[in-house]
A and B are shown apart, each in its own frame.
Chain A
Amino acid sequence: MNTADPLVMGIESSCDETGVGIVRGTELLTNTVSSSMAEHVRFGGVIPEIASRAHLEAFVPTVRTALADAGVRMAEIDAIAVTSGPGLAGALMVGVAAAKALAVATGKPLYAINHLVAHVGVGLLGDGGELPPHLGALLVSGGHTEILAVQDITSDVRLLGSTIDDAAGEAYDKVARLLGLSYPGGPAIDRAAAEGDPEAFSFPRGLTAGKYMGSAENPGPHRYDMSFSGLKTAVARVVETFHAARRPIPVADVAASFQESVVDVISRKTVLACTEHGITTLLMGGGVAANSRLREVVTQRCARHGITVVVPPLSLCTDNGAMVAALGSRLVAQGVAPTGIAFTADPGLPVTTVAMPAAV
């Protein structure tokens, strides 16, 4: 196998995107994505069974398109990488079963890869493929909300903080529904908020009380963790108050105030985690990284502490196969042993497992 610039196919199916990416070394050849997002619109959120059904139908066509787009044949691929968690169990299973079949049919080595670490793997693409030192990552999407410290992307990734209930994107979706806005909630609320007053309502900032935060020397139980379910409930209460009084809901003001709470908590906790862990570059990932207010506030607050913020193009922020391929390529280059085909997808895979070890 060519281990200097391996040709790697990455497969992603942990949520509602069926992604197949192909990289050669650190060069991106294709990032082909088939999304079932439109099928979830009428439900106002991702329905796991619908996503799983869509993955089954999309898989082979997406692989075909990706190969054609990259101009390579399956036989030329050096290794296959697949997201094996975290994510929706039924959705992960489709990509994992398919990747195993590809590995068996072609005899290629298979790497079972962590979805969250793969989001950081986007940073490996292009420009010599080196990640900056003292790297951290802020991942915000409909499925997850995490702050990571990335010492070494193939061997030392730690979870500093995460949501303890809803993902931030999920909170956006639910609040969008309360406000009668469209799905996905992120862009809809971002748009509505642009016209609103972020201080019109004072919504709670989850897990920011002293008992959760503690101090740098003596951290509380949730110093870098986030919670958005109380916020969602608070918004529901405000909406209900307006309904009860038969007054129109001030959608823009509620959206802006809600978004301000989310953005305030995420950015404050992120900056705190970065400064206390010597992180000097922060990579943003996940679909909500596209949120204009979040980018603005995170960038501002990070700048004040000398932290550089990197936001990849949106197509590489949302779930995709290219990031899986990029991380897979690095694992191959570093001589990490492949996982093989005997593993089980793990919906709760911890970030400390960058790639699943081969079963013994």
Chain B
Amino acid sequence: MLVLSLDSSSIASVALSRDGEVLERFDTTDTRSHAEALAPAVQELMARAGLTGADLDAVLVGTGPGPFTGLRAGLVTARTLGFAWDLPVHGLCSLDAVAHRVGPLALAAGHPEFAVAIDARRKELYWRRYRVAEEGGVVVLPAGDPQVSAPEQLPDVPCYGSGTALYPDRVPRPAVEGTDVAPSAADLARAAWSVTSRGGELSTDTSPLYLRESDAKVPGAPKRATS
């Protein structure tokens, strides 16, 4: 199973993986150049691996949550590649990528439940709760839907992910390690493999997890002058 993965919920990242093993990866250092970085990164990774679209089995994309503009760049890139290469496109919550990465840390620290948070801008965090267990390997499962809220509103469980490091004094229980991990395509690929390798199925729903309305306001009646 050869998969091209993209995530743009935080940084922009691309990964090529075979059966969950990452062959090539690309990650930006900033969170504001998704539309510039993604396509060239895909081209470079494919060339480096000596692959064409015909070699791939699927495209995988992080569906957020994340800042809207960047998130859309990843989604439209993934959907368009899937269309042009005639490949299935799977969507996975971007926070699951972080959860998969920090799961072993949580387990080792004796935390069967934890949360993952990333920056939602406007002094808020996107977050999701997870459960982790040892079942012939570390298994991380979502324990609720992704949310957006002020840091104080997070559940009282150890909190991982790059959002934690942003508000160490406001998140109820920041974890000790793994508070700087952002979603990446490489971790997303591994998280997806942990689902499919256990017989699970990935969703073909690539709808963005905006979690917030578009901020548009219906204008009221024309303003009356007060003078």
Contact = CB atoms under 8 A, between A and B. Distances in A.
Interface residues of A, number: 42
B38 interface: yes
A315 B97 CA distance: 45
Contacts of A56: 72, 75-76, 208
Contacts of B79: 59-60, 98
Given A49-B68, A105-B84, A239-B222, A97 B77 contact: yes
Interface in B7-48: 34-36, 38-40, 42-43, 46
Contacts of A94: 72-73, 76
A47 interface: yes
B85 interface: yes
B31 to A, nearest CB: 14
B36 A101 contact: no
Given A56-B208, A236-B222, A344-B36, A104 B72 contact: no
Given A59-B80, A93-B73, A105 B85 contact: yes
B39 to A, nearest CB: 3
A101 B81 contact: yes
A74 interface: yes
Contacts of A100: 35, 38-40, 77
A234 to B, nearest CB: 13
A244 B224 CA distance: 9
Contacts of B40: 100, 104, 341-342
What band does the interface of chain B fall in when counting residues whose beta carbon is under 8 Å from A? Answer: 35 or more
A177 B222 contact: yes
A204 B67 CA distance: 43
A49 B67 CA distance: 12
A236 B223 CA distance: 9
A102 B80 contact: yes
A97 B215 contact: no
A211 interface: no
Max chain A Cβ within 10 angstroms of own Cβ: one of B76, B77, B78, B219: B76
A47 B72 contact: no
Given A90-B68, A97-B35, A97-B77, A60 B216 contact: no
B197 interface: no
B49 interface: no
30 contacts: A43-B216, A43-B219, A49-B216, A52-B68, A53-B68, A53-B72, A53-B214, A56-B76, A59-B79, A63-B80, A63-B83, A64-B83, A90-B72, A93-B73, A97-B34, A97-B38, A97-B72, A97-B76, A98-B76, A100-B39, A100-B40, A101-B38, A101-B77, A101-B80, A101-B84, A102-B80, A104-B46, A105-B53, A105-B80, A106-B84
Interface of B: 34-36, 38-40, 42-43, 46, 53, 68-69, 72-73, 75-81, 83-85, 208, 210, 214-219, 222, 224-225
Top 3 nearest A-B pairs (CB, nearest first) are A105-B84, A100-B39, A101-B80
